[in-house]
Structure 1
Amino acid sequence: MDTYTFATSRQVEFPTTTPYTILLKHPEIRHIGSVQNPTSELYVTAQLWAESKSFGVSVQTPHLFFKNNRTWNKWLELPILIKDCPVSSQIAITIWDISPCPQNGSISHTVPFGGTTIPLFDDDGALRRGRQKCKVYRRKGADGHLSSTTPHVPRTKRRKRNEEPPPIVPEEEELERLEQLFKKHEMNEIPQNDWLDQLVFQNVGKKAREVEEAARKRSSMHKASKRKAAKMRADRIETQTGSNGTADESESEEESDDEEHFTLYVDFPRWDFPVVFEDHEYEPSRMMREFQSTLSSSILGAKPPPPEVRYGPGIAAGNNVVDDEDYPVVQIFDPEQFQRENPCESKHRRLVRSDRNALYDVDQKPNAKLRDELNEILSYGPTQELTPQEKDVVWTFRRHLSRDKRALTKVVKATDWSNPGEARQMAELIPRWAKIDVDSALELLGPTYDSPVVRAYAVDRLRQAGDAELLLYLLQLVQALKFEDYGTKEEGLPPSSLAKFLIDRAANNFKLGNYLHWYLMVECDDQGPDTNAINRKLFARVEYYFMLKLEDRAPEQRKTLLRQAEMIAVLSRISKEVRFSRSNRIQKIELLKKYLADPKNELLKIEPPIPLPLDPEIEVCGVYPEEANVFKSSLSPLFLNFKIATPTDTSLATQSRSETQGKYPMIFKTGDDLRQDQLVIQIIELMNNLLLKENLDLKLTPYRTLATSPTAGAVQFIQSTAISAVSAKYKGSVLAYLKANNPDETGPLGVRKETMDTYIRSCAGYCVITYILGVGDRHLDNLLLQPSGHFFHIDFGFILGRDPKPFAPLIKLCKEMVEGLGGTMSPQYAQFKQYCFTAYSTLRKSSSLILNLFSLMVQSSVQDIRLVEEQMGGIGGAVAKVRERFHLDVSEEEAVRLLDQVLADSVNAVFGVVIDRLHEFVQGWRA
């Protein structure tokens, strides 16, 4: 039989009733619920506090009936999100008791049973999680001030003079250690074992009861000794002075308060990982930025002081209290300054645009003064913002302006799309607007326009563009997909969306579909640190629907794109193996030829012929392994000669017939992002088309470039010679090179007239275009010249004014180029300048189109655009750089004079010559 366990009455030291002296002082406590019943029905309230002020309303537990102990087991959800809580947040928890006698004239019949305050974040700034043990302070409501009087962990009491520290009890220390282990066990940081855990819990519980009993006995003995010492001290004082020793009563009251020890266990949500506090950093206002820049410029090396912030009474940092009498003027840093709309201007705009004026606006026409003002507003570039006054004028005469196709973008900017009335009026007016041009439609697809009505209208206007024109803007239109909201629950794409339009057009034109496929695939594969996973998912979704469209309408085209991907994958693998091979260049060339000739790679003979991804109008049926080469570069680019299939040779081709086919030379390399070069070449091709429309042929050479992944791509190879090689072979004379390849005694400077004219035009065209795009890092190795006189640039690793070399001229017009023109005093140089001025003026007329294309690229992964955006501190930095080179704020004559000055400075630039000589020295040392 199990032994009986019992206790004797002599071991129970608790009073049978409330002490009579306390009942005399507080007779109402005999009616309090917790005095009548040890498991009375209490309830708990919790409220969030921060900076000594309540932070939201309190919440409480529902009514519960307790049987054995007070356990609520209820989650309390505070009405404040964790992300909105400051680091000083505290939860004030109060346990309320029932009392029939209200206190302090209150009509409430609740009194605090006890309270405790626990910070939301611990000392390390981590969010509390799991079970927390809180001390309950009897008959006190929770205090939520910064220096709380009810902390969940009691503060160590200050010892009196000559008072010995309390003895250290090993059992209590061990119990505290076990409690920490139990908390880790609850957080699953310690492996669980059910049968062993039950034994441990039982033994630890038994040990805890023993420690608690021992602590109670020590406390009783300590209080008895203090009571005896106090009585002896009171008798001595009474003998000397006859006083009645009131201090003993207060001490006895304090002792009675300390006799009751209650603990509240609070469960915080458990997280699989620590949640660390992070504050929201507001962007400093315009006033603070100007103040800091002024101060830093006046005091070199001195850090500007932080903004002065003063608090009101009771809200000081730490435990200090600041009085308003000492600081009558309170200065507070307002992070929303200059970032929110002026309420006065907002009220004015609502009055001006109210529905009462709608009927009046229908037939309203501007007078002569307002007409001039409207014409000036319509002449603004696409990146120029409108003032509130200009927006009001444009909105007032919106119906009058509906006949002008230039005005739509300005009216859309002036519309408050958050106002349902204005949005409804514009939705009704836009379909009746004069048909806008394609460049205006591109502007409406930019990141600043999010209205579905506006974007649908812009897509509708793009339908008037042909496939050839659409191909010029395709790179930017793919980037514009980021600015549309297609939703996540819809199946398919909206009929009016840009993605649906591009897919439909690309499915009917293989050339368009080829480039759309590769542009989308590169964005899907971009895993860089600056990319967005949401954008990658968006591009993958568009590519998926494009493949579905091809599967339904043109399954052969889909198979062709898959074959292209297989060929590019093989070339990428070969390029990486050659690049990382620990061999010299000769051995790498032999290794490349071996790979190309290997039938397993399926490059020697491609059956049936496949359109080349770089140029889908060219079908290739294999490569020439013996003509392959590896360039001198750290990335070891591959030179490949593809066999061009003749129209009659689209089926199986014999080896004898393929030997007579044409060749398509191409460069393929890995380890380099070609998207920036791809963008520059696309802009050059666009500018060439704009110039040709004005009957100005500048003999440009926009060779093809295609990025097949974020780190690989293909480039069309143009047979040419670098200016550095021309200078070395012909003793610095480009003119001698032109004479050697195109001699004509009757021609200008002894060169055939057509060749010299081509050289003059191409030099002028590339000088203007590289100036507008801010192309940098120009040296004699990336300036190429063909025997026919075609001059062109390659390697666009630095654009938008970025240049690794200091003091580089704005236009690369070296003395070798000028020498080929016969010098600065020759008629050829005068003709060159005239072509420059004509081309610059022509491109300025189409500046809106070029700026709109760059505005669609502001969130792309093009390296220099991303860097310029970060340096400028906002969206539109790259557009501003291009707009600056157009000089749109001056007249055409003044802009031409500015370009003339830039040409003169570039010709006379001494530092450019030093840079070229230094580059030649470095290249020679590397060779």
Structure 2
Amino acid sequence: MEFGGSSGFKDFSFCFTRDIDQPLRVRMCGSLEFTARVGASDSCNVHSLQELYVSCQLFSGSRELSPLMRTAYKSFKTRWAWNEWIVLPHSYRELPADAWLALSVWEICGPQNTRVAASTAFPLFTKHSVLRSGRQKLLLWQDAKPDLVKTPSKSPQHDAMDHLEKMVKRHEEGEIPRVDWLDKLAFREIERINREVTASSSKMFLYIDLQKFDFPLVYGDEQPVLASSLLPLHLSLLDPELDAVNIVEAKHSRLVRSHRNEPLDRDLKPEATARDQLNAIIHYPPSQQLTSQEKDLLWKFRFYLSRDKRVLTKFLKCVVWTDPIETRQAVELLNDWSPVNIDDALELLGEGFQNKHVRAYAVKRIAEAGDEELLLYLLQLVQALKFEGMTEQSQPQRDSKLAEFLIKRGLRNVVLGNHLYWYLLIEHESAQNSKLFAQVITVFMRATKKINPAHYNMFRAQRELLARFASIARDQQLSKDPRPKKIERLRAYISDPKTKLRSFDEILLPLDPRVRINGVLPEKSSIFKSSLQPLRIAFSCAGGSEYQAIYKCGDDLRQDQLVIQMIMLMDKLLRKENLDLKLTPYRVLATGTNAGLVQFVDSVPLATILAENENSLLNYLRKHNSHSESTNTYGVHPQVMDTYVKSCAGYCVITYLLGVGDRHLDNLMLTTDGRLFHIDFGFILGRDPKPFPPPMKLAREMVDAMGGASSEHYKQFKAYCFIAFSILRKSANLILNLFALMVNAGIPDIQVEPDKAVMKVQEKFRLDLSEEEAIHHFQGLINESVSALFPQVIETIHKWAQYWRK
């Protein structure tokens, strides 16, 4: 847009932010001045000062607009320089006029121990409503949380470098002509002045880069602005009536829902047309928005509908909770409604339901679940605590029915209590809502210490054990020794009696609290070939058995943890319908935002099997399960072939529904008894680093192991896929509600587009199709995956890349 002419303003071109549908991007550059000044902390040792990361969060006034985003884990030696782009889950068109970034530098002082070393608050728009761009120098405030008033990004006092940096920025943008010989002299002098100013100043600065555009971006709301009404830039472009109540709609709602009609409404019954409309509303997925007409229809026939448990969540969405009379009627009717299922009760604990009576009702329904079932939803129930409306002054057991319920069940069942403890701990560590979860943990630990002191001491022992593993893992990552030497040193460290790792008092394994461990076996522990060099830990268990686990440091396992939880849940749903697809939902526990434990399952990647068995999975299965009499299964034991076919079908359906990406033959595993399963879920919800990914990973070699596309086993494979897809579609609401509760959980691939995460899963279920149409649709997906040529090319490229890497 161009502006100028006889009005006296200089001609210039600009663009409104509402016209830019790109995500907001911020690049964390570094902080040279920070290096010499952060060492004063008493809470961290000297070694840990090398470990810093930067967090970034978008705010509007005091309201959080985005989850806390952070740079990757890095260890620095000489200077802090992240050079990493952070993509925030908001586009430029969604930015409010008062948008600002909360930036914090965090010190990692040890496992489960981080602190804010310094922070700053950076407004994205100037006082003239122009979006800032390019390189920005931000003043850091030590030992402070970001606040627009207390920690502003611009210093009120300017030094010699401030003016020079503005001139350098103008030079970079081409506003000052370039003269090579003069530029070299000038930059040399600027470096000298910078050293002097830095040495004499106590200030610390963080440098960031914002995206540059061809034209300045001016704040503009979603309403179109006529060219004739353009104002000078120093005037606000906000519409004061943008958020005002529509008095016409409000009056219409009051007339339709006249409170005086309550006695008459009890006897109302819908006619045929209204019944059809209500039936359509009942079958809406949880994410479906209701129109004002649909809300009025639900309110009108609320007493008639109260006998149908499926309608309660829809009815509660139509209530005007700001109206005290309507709220009272809804709460009274709540107790007379037909009790809802647990999947609907989970929806009532989401962000959209703030009424305490509604949330208490949901907790009451969930309380009827057994411990095994409750464990399947525990991850989401902990996330739901964020929506309980608790403050810093709240007492969890008094002010939150959900917190009271979780603490009570965690105290009653040690397995539930163990998972609850670690889920709460990682939420406390992730900074967002940190104080809320600190309150819940404190209450839970005090109650544990009072009721069962042994379990209280066990939690402390678990933390200390994982702290030892974290220290070992970091030392191995920093070491330049070859892998055999590192393994030798690891085993010697475990064997040393001083470390007390070979034998210790019996505790529950954090990863699987059903298992009791009493030591680590040095001779069976090792280090994997990987960039992060995860540890393979062999635990000795009570009764003489062993349990092998992988400890990863520097990797956020929360996304893998969510995927595995979903696989466990889907496995339960399928088994409930008497369909066992031989899944292998190995256990994953994130013990921090960059560390965790993974169950080790003895298996081999398909890529390795094909390389060592003449490019045939059948040869591998025959080698371990030869059965010469089984001609129908090509010399493989029939039970093993059945296991292979079922597991292939199960994972094809589940990975399709979850949108798992980056599938290649190195992260598809196969056990000797025929169980195929997937690992490494770094990409979900349709994200994939490779172009044109197929709907599911179904390689030609996998089909050949069934006997080919014309074999009976392949037909059986497709039949299992159809049955599994149909069963899981019936539980779509449960899965969608669980995903909805994870939107603010800090899961990387959900954070990319949090408002679309649930819809991405919902689209996979194709709830708009009949069962027959859905099966036909899935048939097409299988055919597309098998015949896809591009993934085969990518797989070949990946194979060669792995070869040259070795």
Instruction: Output one character per residue of 1:640-697: Cα deviation in whole Å (capped at 9) or x when no partner.
Output: 1111112xxxxxxxxxxxxxx2111111110000010000000000000000000000
The letter of the residue matching 2:499 is N
Tell me, yes or no, if structure 1 residue 709 matches structure 2 residue 628.
no
- The answer (yes or no) to whether the contact 2:391–2:436 under 8 Å persists in 1 is no
SS in structure 2 opposite 1:616?
Answer: strand
Task: Tell me by how many angstroms 1:570 deviates.
Answer: 0.7
SS in structure 1 opposite 2:397?
Answer: coil
Higher strand share: 2
- The answer (yes or no) to whether the contact 1:605–1:621 under 8 Å persists in 2 is yes
Cα distance in 1 for partners of 2:314, 2:666 equals 45
Task: Tell me by how many angstroms 1:857 deviates.
Answer: 0.3
Cα distance in 2 for partners of 1:666, 1:126 equals 49
Q: 2:627 aligns with which of 728, 739, 744?
A: 744
Q: What is the aligned partner in structure 2 of residue 695 from structure 1?
A: 578
Q: What is the aligned partner in structure 2 of residue 614 from structure 1?
A: 511
Change (3 A) 1:583 1:485: same
Q: 1:837 aligns with which of 714, 718, 722?
A: 722
SS in structure 1 opposite 2:340?
Answer: coil
Tell me, yes or no, if structure 1 residue 451 matches structure 2 residue 355.
yes
Tell me, yes or no, if structure 1 residue 503 matches structure 2 residue 386.
no
Q: What is the aligned partner in structure 2 of residue 766 from structure 1?
A: 651
Change (3 A) 1:441 1:492: closer
Q: What is the aligned partner in structure 2 of residue 376 from structure 1?
A: 280
Q: What is the aligned partner in structure 1 of residue 703 from structure 2?
A: 818
Q: What is the aligned partner in structure 1 of residue 554 from structure 2?
A: 671
Hey, which bits of structure 1, 4+ residues long, moved more than 6 A? 124-129, 280-283
Q: What is the aligned partner in structure 1 of residue 271 from structure 2?
A: 367
Cα distance in 2 for partners of 1:477, 1:431 equals 22
SS in structure 2 opposite 1:537?
Answer: helix
- The answer (yes or no) to whether the contact 1:766–1:793 under 8 Å persists in 2 is yes
Tell me, yes or no, if structure 1 residue 919 matches structure 2 residue 798.
yes
Change (3 A) 1:778 1:319: closer
Tell me, yes or no, if structure 1 residue 405 matches structure 2 residue 302.
no
SS in structure 2 opposite 1:494?
Answer: helix
SS in structure 1 opposite 2:752?
Answer: helix
Q: What is the aligned partner in structure 1 of residue 660 from structure 2?
A: 775
Cα distance in 2 for partners of 1:479, 1:899 equals 33
Cα distance in 2 for partners of 1:792, 1:318 equals 59
More displaced stretch, 916-925 vs 844-853: 916-925
Q: What is the aligned partner in structure 1 of residue 480 from structure 2?
A: 582
Cα distance in 2 for partners of 1:380, 1:766 equals 27
SS in structure 2 opposite 1:750?
Answer: coil
The letter of the residue matching 1:634 is S
- The answer (yes or no) to whether the contact 1:308–1:333 under 8 Å persists in 2 is no
Q: What is the aligned partner in structure 2 of residue 308 from structure 1?
A: 227
SS in structure 1 opposite 2:685?
Answer: coil
Query: Sequence identity of aligned pairs in percent?
Result: 49
Q: 1:808 aligns with which of 683, 690, 693?
A: 693
Aligned residue pairs: how many?
Answer: 601
Cα distance in 1 for partners of 2:667, 2:553 equals 19
Cα distance in 1 for partners of 2:219, 2:333 equals 39
Q: 2:318 aligns with which of 414, 437, 442?
A: 414
Q: What is the aligned partner in structure 2 of residue 67 from structure 1?
A: none
Task: Tell me by how many angstroms 1:743 deviates.
Answer: 1.4
SS in structure 1 opposite 2:778?
Answer: helix
Task: Tell me by how many angstroms 1:634 deviates.
Answer: 0.5
- The answer (yes or no) to whether the contact 2:339–2:365 under 8 Å persists in 1 is yes
Q: 1:637 aligns with which of 525, 529, 534?
A: 534
Tell me, yes or no, if structure 1 residue 598 matches structure 2 residue 502.
no
Task: Tell me by how many angstroms 1:745 deviates.
Answer: 2.6
Q: 1:464 aligns with which of 355, 368, 373?
A: 368
Change (3 A) 1:599 1:897: same
Larger RCO, structures 1/2 (Cα 8 Å, 6+ apart): 2
- The answer (yes or no) to whether the contact 2:473–2:553 under 8 Å persists in 1 is yes
Change (3 A) 1:751 1:537: same
Change (3 A) 1:662 1:87: closer
User: Structure 2 matches for 1:83-98, cutoff 5 A?
Assistant: none
Q: 1:485 aligns with which of 389, 393, 400?
A: 389
The letter of the residue matching 1:792 is F
Q: What is the aligned partner in structure 1 of residue 289 from structure 2?
A: 385
Task: Tell me by how many angstroms 1:746 deviates.
Answer: 3.0
Tell me, yes or no, if structure 1 residue 852 matches structure 2 residue 755.
no
The letter of the residue matching 1:284 is D
Q: What is the aligned partner in structure 2 of residue 719 from structure 1?
A: 602
- The answer (yes or no) to whether the contact 2:308–2:338 under 8 Å persists in 1 is yes
Q: What is the aligned partner in structure 2 of residue 892 from structure 1?
A: 771
Gaps in structure 1 of 5+ consecutive residues: 1-82, 90-123, 130-189, 191-279, 289-305, 321-331, 647-660, 870-874
- The answer (yes or no) to whether the contact 1:441–1:458 under 8 Å persists in 2 is yes
Task: Tell me by how many angstroms 1:449 deviates.
Answer: 0.9
Change (3 A) 1:544 1:283: farther
Tell me, yes or no, if structure 1 residue 907 matches structure 2 residue 786.
yes
SS in structure 2 opposite 1:868?
Answer: coil
TM-score (norm. length: structure 1):
0.62
The letter of the residue matching 1:694 is E
Instruction: Output one character per residue of 1:837-890: Cα deviation in whole Å (capped at 9) or x when no partner.
Output: 000000000000000000000011111111122xxxxx3x11011001111112
SS in structure 2 opposite 1:618?
Answer: strand
- The answer (yes or no) to whether the contact 2:563–2:681 under 8 Å persists in 1 is yes
User: Structure 2 matches for 1:242-257, cutoff 5 A?
Assistant: none
Cα distance in 2 for partners of 1:789, 1:801 equals 28
Instruction: Output one character per residue of 1:307-366: Cα deviation in whole Å (capped at 9) or x when no partner.
Output: 53627xxxx74999xxxxxxxxxxx97747886554322211110111222221121111
The letter of the residue matching 2:376 is L
Task: Tell me by how many angstroms 1:610 deviates.
Answer: 1.1
Change (3 A) 1:909 1:537: same
Q: Which protein shows a greater Rg?
A: 1
Task: Tell me by how many angstroms 1:759 deviates.
Answer: 0.4
Cα distance in 2 for partners of 1:704, 1:724 equals 23
Change (3 A) 1:128 1:572: closer
Q: What is the aligned partner in structure 2 of residue 70 from structure 1?
A: none
- The answer (yes or no) to whether the contact 2:587–2:598 under 8 Å persists in 1 is yes
Task: Tell me by how many angstroms 1:86 deviates.
Answer: 11
Cα distance in 2 for partners of 1:362, 1:281 equals 54
The letter of the residue matching 1:583 is D
The letter of the residue matching 1:921 is W
- The answer (yes or no) to whether the contact 2:392–2:435 under 8 Å persists in 1 is no
Instruction: Output one character per residue of 1:769-817: Cα deviation in whole Å (capped at 9) or x when no partner.
Output: 0000000000110000011110000000000000001111110001111
Cα distance in 2 for partners of 1:566, 1:355 equals 60
Q: 1:546 aligns with which of 441, 444, 454?
A: 444
User: Structure 2 matches for 1:155-166, cutoff 5 A?
Assistant: none
- The answer (yes or no) to whether the contact 1:597–1:603 under 8 Å persists in 2 is yes
Change (3 A) 1:517 1:400: same
- The answer (yes or no) to whether the contact 2:306–2:337 under 8 Å persists in 1 is yes
Q: What is the aligned partner in structure 1 of residue 458 from structure 2?
A: 560
Tell me, yes or no, if structure 1 residue 662 matches structure 2 residue 545.
yes
Tell me, yes or no, if structure 1 residue 284 matches structure 2 residue 221.
yes
Task: Tell me by how many angstroms 1:281 deviates.
Answer: 8.7
Change (3 A) 1:889 1:492: closer
Cα distance in 1 for partners of 2:516, 2:233 equals 76
Cα distance in 1 for partners of 2:220, 2:680 equals 38
Cα distance in 2 for partners of 1:896, 1:341 equals 46
Task: Tell me by how many angstroms 1:126 deviates.
Answer: 9.3
